Amino acid sequence: MNYKFMSRNQKDTLRLAKTLAKLLCAHDVVTLTGDLGAGKTTFVSGVLHTLGVKEDVISPTFNILKCYFDARVPLYHIDAYRLEDSNKDIGLEEYIEGDGIAFIEWPNFIAGLLKIPHLEIDIKNLGGTKRAFTLKAKDSYYQKKLKELA
């Protein structure tokens, strides 16, 4: 099942993030794809702020993983960009199959850890502040969430 959302600006994006955040619970896994500047981190920050996180959300490209323990549910923000071609396992499965929600940017670099059901979000930059969101759910658990979202 696919759900498409046209975002005219950052405000629309944050509204979508807020709606999704309310549907997410512990053990959920969401992947984010889209070019640099597409708005992946902006989207995650919208989710985090809805879950009660006060601090500024920055991309974990350098750190690979950022943990937000003070969110309503622990949230793990993973950016696998720097794991490209490294073939290294650094224990990320403890977070992806952990006690919180996992958001994963550049999931193709850790495809081996994503054999479990998850929600896929793709963001396309349409120029200016316009973004096209495609949310894809292959299994019934996430399809149910998408139906609630739509």
Partner 1 sequence: MNYLLLDSSSVTLNVGLSKQGRLVDQITYPCFQRQSESMVPEIKKLMKRNKLKPTELTGIMVTIGPGSYTGLRIALTIAKVMAFALKIPLYPISTLKVNGVLNAPSIVLFNARSNRSYIAIFNKNKTLLKEQALPNEEVKKLIKKHYHYHLVGDLKYLNLTGEQVDVLANMNALLKTVKPVRDVNQVKPMYLKESYL
For residue 44, what is the enclosing H or E element? helix 40-50
**Subset of residues 26 to 45 that bind partner 1, contact rule: CB under 8 A:** none
- Give the contact letters, 54-83, x = binds to partner 1 (CB under 8 A), - = no: -------------x-x--------------
- Residue 19 or 74: which CB sits closer to partner 1? 74
Helix-strand-coil split of the chain, %, nearest 5: 35, 25, 40
Residue 75 beta carbon to partner 1: minimum distance, rounded to whole angstroms = 12
Task: Check residue 114 for interaction with partner 1 (CB under 8 A).
Answer: no
Opening angle at CA 129, ends 127 and 134, nearest 5: 80
Greatest Cα pair distance in the chain: 39
85 binds partner 1 (CB under 8 A): no
Of 84, 1, 2, 13, residue with least CA distance to 44: 13
150 token code pair: 């739509």
Q: Which residue in the set 35, 89, 139, 148 belongs to the binding site for partner 1 (CB under 8 A)?
A: 89
Question: What is the closest distance, in whole angstroms, from the C-beta atom of residue 110 to partner 1 in the complex?
Answer: 11
| Closer Cβ to partner 1, 12 or 93, answer by number | 93
For partner 1, the closer CB: 84 or 97: 97
Give the 3-state secondary structure of residue 97: coil
Q: Are 5 and 135 in contact (CB under 8 A)?
A: yes
Q: What's the rounded Cα separation, in Å, for the pair 136 and 81?
A: 21
Taking CB under 8 A as the criterion, the residue among 54, 56, 85, 115 binding partner 1 is 115
Q: Which residues sit at the interface with partner 1, rule CB under 8 A?
A: 67, 69, 87-91, 93-94, 97, 99, 112-113, 115
